[in-house]
Amino acid sequence: MTSLNQDIREKLSRLNVFEKIIVVNVVVFLFSFVSLRLQGS
């Protein structure tokens, strides 16, 4: 599990600012989509 965390951090550190913003937006979208589906809305 530690190597997976290291791989993710290494890949994220290589991204530029715009790519990091896109990653954050995708994560927030997926989180809100899943939470709304679990609530049944």
Number of separate domains in the chain:
1
Residue 38 lies in a domain: yes
Residue 7 lies in a domain: no
Residue 8 lies in a domain: no
pLDDT value at residue 20: 92
Instruction: Name the residue range of residue 28's domain.
Output: 15-41
Residue 27 lies in a domain: yes
pLDDT value at residue 41: 59
Residue 25 lies in a domain: yes
Residue 23 lies in a domain: yes
Instruction: For residue 17, give Cα distances in angstroms to 5, 28, 35, 39.
Output: 20, 17, 27, 33
- For residue range 7-33, what is the model confidence (pLDDT) as tens digits? 988 998 999 999 999 999 999 999 999
